[in-house]
Structure 1
């Protein structure tokens, strides 16, 4: 598996992001969906990586700078065919290594509270994330839970 910086121009990547947003809207109330769309992921404060096996897309992860010492993990998604193969863990590790190199002291994230997100909660816990209060512009929301990791 190779992980590379992505410019979001490839059709496979766009399709995975479309699937991701559709699933977020299918599992959470609209006001609780905080996933970035394509234009949001192209912001100057966002870095995006994709994981590939040959020409097959396996997953995506993004890191958004909130301040010089705080970043937010965004758009973690693994393709259905690649689930259970460690892709999300590798992408998360890659994003966290990048955050450390860039000098961030903390990485936070928001995810859903529904059963659909249970695997994500386990992934973040395995990597040392702990629940935290809302951060940045987030507010308390029964459909959102927040995690952070001190680097």
Structure 2
């Protein structure tokens, strides 16, 4: 598997990103906080894709909130790649990059629907713990917040 920094507006990302946004919208409505291609292209966001040969396996992003705090954004594995370790590999890549940048911690916002259970399990296995809302997020029954301290 190859993970590379990429362009979220690239045509080969479009269908997986659209599926990601549509699925989140279907279970979270206006509470969905996922970024579209424009948001993932912001100067404060670094976007990566995972590949096996010519097959797109998934994507993920890291948003800089300040000099010591990053946010995991838009983690997604392609349907055919679920359960293969692609999500874990992308998350590990994001955490490694956050450490290189000298962040003290990374946070994330995710949903509470059954659809989110595999991602929540992945985040917890990587050491993320529940936390209060951060940045501009507001708590709702549809979302939850997690944080990983990188001091260790």
CA contact (8 A) 2:105 2:147 kept: yes
CA RMSD of aligned residues (A): 0.7
Give 2:13's aligned residue.
Answer: 13
TM-score, normalised to structure 2, is 0.97
Q: TM-score, normalised by structure 1?
A: 0.97
Partner residue in 1 for 2:35: 36
Retained in 1: the 8 A contact 2:20–2:76? yes
**Equivalences for residues 47-126 of structure 1 within 5 A:** 47-126=46-125
Q: CA deviation at 1:100?
A: 0.3
Q: CA deviation at 1:85?
A: 0.2
Aligned length: 150
User: Which runs of 5 or more structure 2 residues have no equivalent in the other structure?
Assistant: none
> 1:51: Cα distance to partner?
0.2
Distance 2:142 2:73 in 1: 17
Please state whether the residue corresponding to 2:74 is helix, strand or coil: strand
Which structure 1 segments of 5+ residues have no match? none
Moved over 3 A (4+): none
